[in-house]
Structure 1
């Protein structure tokens, strides 16, 4: 009996367990998945928690219920990967593997910036990339009387690059509905030279910032958070005042990658961008936020990666050449507030463009255009996530590789 070991039971790991179990001979392959956490979070929902759009129960479930019964599930901390020995050290046992899938994700690292996780953490300095941070921010916003709201990104890459922009747009909508938008000054601060990583998308989104009276500060490389004076300060000594700071800290791969000596400076695993095989170990594959591939760290990307990775693992097992197929495909709804959203579809080579999705001409969704249909699509994704994505069920009419149909390229 051979052993396939999956590290991490988040989005990517759970999808891979569901993809592979029906395809691998149960008499030949034992599949084991390891994760120290009992709860599985719908992380895109963290964006909606602060604004009372989603409740706690809508963004979390018991993770084990999504793992196939034929997969061995171990809820323990992963201490170290020993790739030269084909072993993984858990907190109290050692597992051997013939094939390893690393799906350990990424986490925020507020300690990387001086003062960020200081005395005001979750008091007037918040994140919304964690369940705890999003809940604390929700409680703050319910009673906040207004002032200078700064939405800030520390550095790239981050999970879901559009989420900070969405937060700024939803904040505009939220305070407008509360009748206090005139009491809130919103500033969006980014280390990039524009509002978004992709230039065409940045051009399309910049008008929304102006339209919603959201100030834009670009090229801001934060050096520290001044908790005494409520300022963020960059390396050029530029200062931005805040009454409420909503920051996206540095995103890093799991600490187990650092302990194992397998990552780059941010603990992301060097991965072939098209096959998703580790660049250093042939029998190790990497998926989702754990990789260093130049694709967005988003659930849709993990979903598309999982389809290619499943095929490549079957090819690898049968000693056949791998498909250099994954193209960095990402498909993201961008909430713009007031029950509207944009949709973008892009990959490694192609920036977001206008058009229709998923069908040429018909759509029904518009690319790079605000609409209520896109907003409904964003909200519908939560159901798709729990009932299709995690279970390894393909989303109809959405291919793993980006289609050019309907796009104005």
Structure 2
């Protein structure tokens, strides 16, 4: 009897994992993908919707149609995972037994965790572009915005695509310049971090870019309340930031069923896994990748792609009774749109900061500086996403491990 691999989540991670496993194991295994709806949203595109740089309908495709032939698709929400019995209970009453379980149900927005966020002003003066409906509503709000104080606020970390809120600031600067009202708009970026970004080298560069564009930076602001009616953010220490239009990135958590499945995840609902093998720290037949995985790196699409190669290899090794490959090094690769048809690129892993140089080698894309080439790379990623990343194909010249070639490493300190 063939082994059964159940994959929870038909987004980026679940789709590419299913396709990689199907390509690698063929008819040896039965693969079932579970998701609660049929709409696969290209999430990086949501950033562009408010600025009319992407059409919302172009970002959505059918989930099952992204899966290779022979992969089963079951449409239902997940009720809970009974890890002790190696089975998943679905909301429609179905029980799926598994030999290996892959959790790829991503991260969900929990705006209700912040006082006032979904209260008066929500979808009027308070918006988010982190979901489809929010990006659509924000597009209308920006179209009607003629001046005032625009505040972009990250409530707490971790979040999906940590550079996206910064990108929104840069694109807003460009958008209002194109609208010839930039002098009428004050833009402020409000973050709980003590700098513009989590990585010091990149944070310095990004803070400089914010300053160059006249975007104010407010750090160490832990949002306790969003007062939509009064037009203000209030931090837990009592500081306030007034706004006319707020773009808020809500708190994130893992899928709700993780919290209902004893031993599966951490206090935020993210699945606890070994950061190098992506195997559950509690149950050897469970793996996780993408935003659902509790690993100390960015929740970004590139991370999911790099994890996918290692995860597929390790699920196959686990089923064959072989030692796992501790090959995931935290590799993260992010294009950062900076407006005016330019973008930056950063590339790093668990141990290496974003560094200047080029990616993936000395003759590649420039790192840590703006260029039109990087902007074109960002635009090209959409095609790669649908035609290479999701189908589980390798992208030529780009491996799961972070490349050292082309990077300008600092000289070792002398003792």
Question: Structure 2 length normalisation: TM-score?
Answer: 0.96
Q: Cα offset for 1:22?
A: 2.3
Q: Cα offset for 1:395?
A: 1.0
Equivalent residue number for residue 85 of structure 1: 85
Q: Cα offset for 1:57?
A: 2.3
State the distance in 1 between where 2:266 and 2:26 align: 35
Equivalent residue number for residue 190 of structure 2: 189
| Per-residue deviation, residues 118-160 of structure 1 (Å, max 9, x unmatched) | 1211111111110110010001111112211000001111111
Moved more, 127-136 or 89-98: 89-98
Q: Is the 8 A contact 2:46 2:56 kept in 1?
A: no
State the distance in 2 between where 1:81 and 1:234 align: 37
Q: Cα offset for 1:25?
A: 4.6
State the distance in 2 between where 1:129 and 1:231 align: 20
| Per-residue deviation, residues 334-392 of structure 1 (Å, max 9, x unmatched) | 000111000000000101010011222x22x1000100000000011001101110000
Q: Cα offset for 1:49?
A: 0.5
Displaced runs of 4+ in structure 1, greater than 3 A? Answer: none
State the distance in 1 between where 2:265 and 2:228 align: 32
> 5 Å matches for 1:390-401?
390-401=390-401
State the distance in 2 between where 1:135 and 1:269 align: 31
Say yes or no: does 1:167 pair with 2:161.
Answer: no
State the distance in 1 between where 2:23 and 2:379 align: 30
State the distance in 1 between where 2:242 and 2:23 align: 55
Equivalent residue number for residue 368 of structure 1: 368
| Per-residue deviation, residues 79-138 of structure 1 (Å, max 9, x unmatched) | 111101111111221111111000010011101110011121111111111011001000
Equivalent residue number for residue 388 of structure 2: 388
User: 5+ unaligned residues in a row in structure 2: which ranges?
Assistant: 410-415
Say yes or no: does 1:176 pair with 2:177.
Answer: yes
For the residue of structure 2 that corresponds to 1:169, the secondary structure is helix
Aligned length in residues:
406
Say yes or no: does 1:289 pair with 2:291.
Answer: yes
Equivalent residue number for residue 4 of structure 1: 5
Equivalent residue number for residue 281 of structure 2: 279
> 5 Å matches for 1:222-371?
222-261=223-262, 262-360=264-362, 362-363=363-364, 365-371=365-371
User: 5+ unaligned residues in a row in structure 1: which ranges?
Assistant: none
For the residue of structure 2 that corresponds to 1:155, the secondary structure is coil
State the distance in 2 between where 1:25 and 1:229 align: 59
Q: CA RMSD in A?
A: 0.9
State the distance in 2 between where 1:30 and 1:160 align: 32
State the distance in 1 between where 2:150 and 2:167 align: 14
